[in-house]
Structure 1
């Protein structure tokens, strides 16, 4: 499979560069979807467009058998590219700084490889919008969540996906059981105070800034003293806004932050502790604090059985020494919604070339080693074939 993929390298790279030059934000991937459709038409694959807004789903069916999903996300980020590449983004303020352009190219490359492969069953190619967030979705759903709501996973025995990582060397891949990526939630806290003259009569006010400062410090104890040392969680306050003048006791302060956890019990416990800290801090200061925690992406969990097949495929395609044993990452990933609905495997593929660029995901200087693209396409195709054979024996 690797040799066949290497023969397609120029085509896969050309697709990637075209998409990279014309990045589109979530739920706006109209041009990207059109390019995907054009490739599917050229391959003779039936497809459906307009799924979850701008998503595209195609199926390659060869006789009766199980169904395996290959998923690729399509959206870019609101970042101004700073790479000086000849195929850099031509859209001001938008860049494929997470490498979803490579995911699309590898997904289409896998379709090319599977077209001539011998198997029984169906491979469903899911080109998904809006992985990076919900944007203006009326329900506040990301593309992956909306696709699951629309039933893209129905009838599938398994699903696979990968994410390029530009700080892992090309040719290496991490496929683990259990948690791969963290649950990613957001917290918004509004501290209600009472304004007063900060120099003449500060005692007449309730200082929202003082309370907010205490909250920022106390919230750090959620991880330090409420999460076990063998577990992992993050609570970070990223913004703080409040106050109107140097001589006025602040009437309100707004704080926002992120919460990351690796299992559902810890997730619920951390949420409860943050809410309790806000409630009791408010009581202590004789005021009120609004605490809103918005559930984002759940933990991305790999099924052990699917991952075992995926690791074997990686050894066959990339070699025995390709596998890495990386710990879970604390980033969020909306493939988690698919993984909740169907046994899944999410792999991390190295795309760091010999120049060893230090810039990672979401950097305006991120560089992807395109030599990794045929490797990813080959792994996706081989894993899909092996999963079809695996599940066929269980029918």
Structure 2
């Protein structure tokens, strides 16, 4: 049996897959066994995944020097080719049968002074979301324990404020206690608290924070059309503080804000040309909230979401690609397509902050039907799984 090697080659700004002129033979012992009647028995799927990853690994690089034209070339490929490439790249760094379950809790809801046009928690709009005080420590830890029991390995906490500087040291100290308590449960801990300075980022790191979420939301060019209370550069500055403190970066965007495809390409280019890619890239679809300026927005077409997921996987091969807000609108088959395209994380639980989310029983049933399993916490995808699988392939 012959298996061609796939080569990732840049050509005229586009990245295309082609068959390499060299072939390598896989002997009978490698590709399967022979039954008593002489029929071939197929390899288990995990073995095929290893073979695919082994073939493609030499041509997959983590790059931060993507040109805008190259990103456009990746993004605009025919969708079937794009998803196929993303699926191969995904196997180099991840087990395609594993999807991490995460839980997102709003620890401080409503009353936010920011003007994000999509957000029901902004005090600028009449959305029906009431301002609530910061949750108590024990209440948060109870939710974290429940999340762990339900299979989550990452617990994320979000506060509706401009940043810790807005609320003063006492509330920030309570958040630090939450981080310590959740980390003590053996969970990854992520937080989204708005703008940070260097001192606050350092304190979160010392408390045990795994990752900090601070989405860019959209392109630099379109940003002012969505948010007027802070600049695009303010977000980048916070990400710089997070990275300098040694905390993982969780940074992605939202589809459906009225942006163009060019804006989506620009967002991907910004993320993929960071000196170090975000360890997590959430891909959100807008869930229009009543009372916000974007309440009448048209829904994002699934194929646009799938294209964004696949392009993200190719451009940032070792990053977790998190299928986030808006997943409730996807069918099980559409979610499976996103997993094929490189998404490997979902949020479970009744809500994502104030946005409805899929029911836990539905997700559990989907995992069983699709043969998926959860991912352990604190995995380092930058250590290629090929380092482990190549040894078994040579035996």
Q: Normalised by the size of structure 2, how large is the TM-score?
A: 0.28
Question: Structure with the greater relative contact order (CA < 8 A, sep ≥ 6): 1 or 2?
Answer: 1
After TM superposition, the score normalised by the length of structure 1 is: 0.28
User: Which structure's CA Rg is the greater one?
Assistant: 1
Q: 1 or 2, which has the higher strand percentage?
A: 1
